[in-house]
Amino acid sequence: MKLQMIGCSHHDAAVEFREKISFTSDQVSQAVSAFRQRFPSSEIVLISTCNRVELYATAGNDSELDRDAVASFLADQHQLKADEIMDQMIYRAGSDAVEHLFTVAASLDSMVVGEAQILSQVKQAYDIACHSGSAGPLTHSVFQAANRAAKRVQQETSIHRRRVSVPSVAVGEVATEVFDTLQNKRVVLCGAGDMGEETLRYLKQGGASDICIINRSHDRAVALANTFNAESALWNDLRGQVVGADLLIGTTSASEPILDTASFLPLHAKRKNRLLLILDLAVPRDFEPSIGELSNVYLYGIDDLQSACDRNRRERQKEWPKAKQLISEETQRFMQAFNHKATGPVIQRLREQAQELKQTELDRLINKLSLENLDPTAQKEIEKSFDRLINKLLHPPLASLRDDAAEGHRRGLLEALRHLFNLAD
């Protein structure tokens, strides 16, 4: 039994192809059930995100579950040709598949290295497999080990502590430096597009609860506000919202500033010199830069934030070799434990059988030669000679078995030893 992976990601497949083979949450549950029906002895976990689709599977009989069989299944699920799947998807097996899963879970294979979201997505895929009954002994152990490997990378490197997206730096580094906490701060977010939505996630993670979303399309603002348990306001109410804001964020796609200095001055007077942090994440800029020159107004533009992202990205790259070494160690550790679990019982039974034969022959020799009264030291030497003989005879086949298992080829020698020495299963 070995772990197999077939899949693709942003590294090796265009988004158009990833869209064709992606699965929704409901479709994942249906797919793993269909896989078990086609391969009854199989285990399967299916990961499907916007950046990757990867199927991890194994079966009691490896011969029935190979690359062609898995590719054919995926093709059938999306009414595609098997050749199209084979041409654009990567196949890994054994320790290569294990190491790849650990790398994915630790976010070392992500578009944004170190993002926290991928580990939760891997866990979600594993949970679906558990609930559907498609996980089994091997997938249980390898996905639990992947979680441990990811946690170790998080704890022993700073990769996950270095923010590299503009919204994460804006909220996680700049805002937290200006304010001790966001819990009691009024946040006004201008724009409800992708950048605005990503920023909202970081605001919520940072503890912000008093958030108002303003967008030219009010319906979009309302929909996003409902998703994140926030407020929404009409675009015409922008200036009134600015007066009450502690944190003002711009993420619109406007072609010119939504607030210039001349318009901001009367609002500044109404604020009575209260501190205002402005995070301008838009290109072109949403706020005229000279607003930041006013007293108690701190304005950070996209260039300021991007330079922080670049600096953090360089720091992450320094940690990369250490993170990869940790993944390599965890892979080796898992494979050793897995191979020992497979070969250990056979080795133990073989040694027990040899000890039983040794004891039988030793007892027969002592009785036949009437050696009961033999000096204990001499008797001990005879027993040691028998042990040395057994060890020398068993060492070559057991060493070969361990080497074969380490390379992932256990079944051949394992079965041969069982038959040669007449060992029970």
Query: Catalytic residue positions?
Result: 50
| Cα three-residue angle 159-118-51, rounded to 5 degrees | 110
Task: Write phi, then psi, for 45 (nearest 5 degrees).
Answer: -130, 130
User: H-helix or E-strand containing 273?
Assistant: none
Instruction: Identify the residue whose tokens are 């005229």.
Output: 288
182, two tokens: 């966001």
The answer to whether residues 351 and 394 touch, using CB atoms and an 8 Å cutoff, is yes
Q: SS3 of 106, please?
A: coil
Name residue 58's beta-bridge partners.
43
Q: Mutual orientation of helices 137-156 and 117-132 as an angle, nearest 10°? A: 160
Spatial separation of the C-alpha atoms in residues 423 and 353, rounded to whole Å: 8
Tell me the backbone φ, ψ of residue 280, rounded to 5 degrees. -100, 100
What are phi and psi for residue 279, nearest 5 degrees? Answer: -110, 110
Burial class (CB in 10 A: 0-12, 13-18, 19+), 65: buried
Q: Cα(206)–Cα(211) distance, rounded to whole angstroms? A: 12
- Provide, for the chain, the percentages of residues in helix, strand and coil under a 3-state DSSP scheme, each rounded to the nearest 5: 60, 10, 25
- Is 254 within 8 Å of 286 (Cβ atoms)? yes
Q: Select from 194, 221, 207, 182 the least CA-distant residue to 281.
A: 194
- Residue 42 and residue 69: Cα distance in Å, rounded? 12
Closest of 137, 121, 126 to residue 45, by C-alpha = 126
Residues near 218 by beta carbon (within 8 Å), at least 6 away in sequence = 232, 234, 235
DSSP assignments along 333-345, one per residue: HHHHHHHHHHHHH
For residue 59, the SS3 value is: strand
Q: Tokens 């027990």 identify what position?
A: 352
- Residue that has been written with the tokens 């060890």 in this structure: 391
* d(C-alpha 7, C-alpha 23), whole Å: 12
